[in-house]
Amino acid sequence: MLEVRFRPEDTRTVFAANLLTMGDRYNIHSQLEHLQSKYIGTGHADTTKFEWLTNQHRDSQSTYLGHYDMLSYFAVAENESKARIRFNIMEKMLQPCGPPPEKPED
């Protein structure tokens, strides 16, 4: 049977680490707000599930367009030309998750 014993200096280290994280809470939140304002895909507190999924799909599709080898792979797999695959992906970027859901009236 494994027995774990804590020494008094171990608890002091854990307590000091907790104090550091509590003190940095404001700094972390301000950094997160900065990232959210700078990059659309990171979302914010009011981001809906539909907006989040739309951003995810658009990020993926733009990556596919940006990587020539991935585009070639899709063209071979679907037996289409690279130009047709590129066109189809760009068409999907307009509404990758379909039309937006209706917002409830407040």
pLDDT along the chain (106 residues), means of 10: 56 53 72 78 80 91 95 97 97 91 79
Query: Any residues with CB less than 8 A from the CB of 63 and at least 6 apart, and which?
Result: 70
- pLDDT reported for residue 34: 81
pLDDT for res 3:
61
Residues 89, 53, 55, 74: what is their CA dihedral angle, to the nearest 10 degrees?
-20
Question: What was the pLDDT predicted at 36?
Answer: 77
Asked whether 71 and 61 are in contact (CB, 8 A), the reply is: no
Q: What is the mean pLDDT of the chain?
A: 81
20, 35 in Cβ contact below 8 A?
no
Interatomic CA distance for residues 42 and 62, integer angstroms: 16
Distance CA 80, CA 91 (A): 15
pLDDT of residue 48: 87
> Which pTM was predicted?
0.63
pLDDT of residue 24: 74
Supply the pLDDT for residue 88.
96
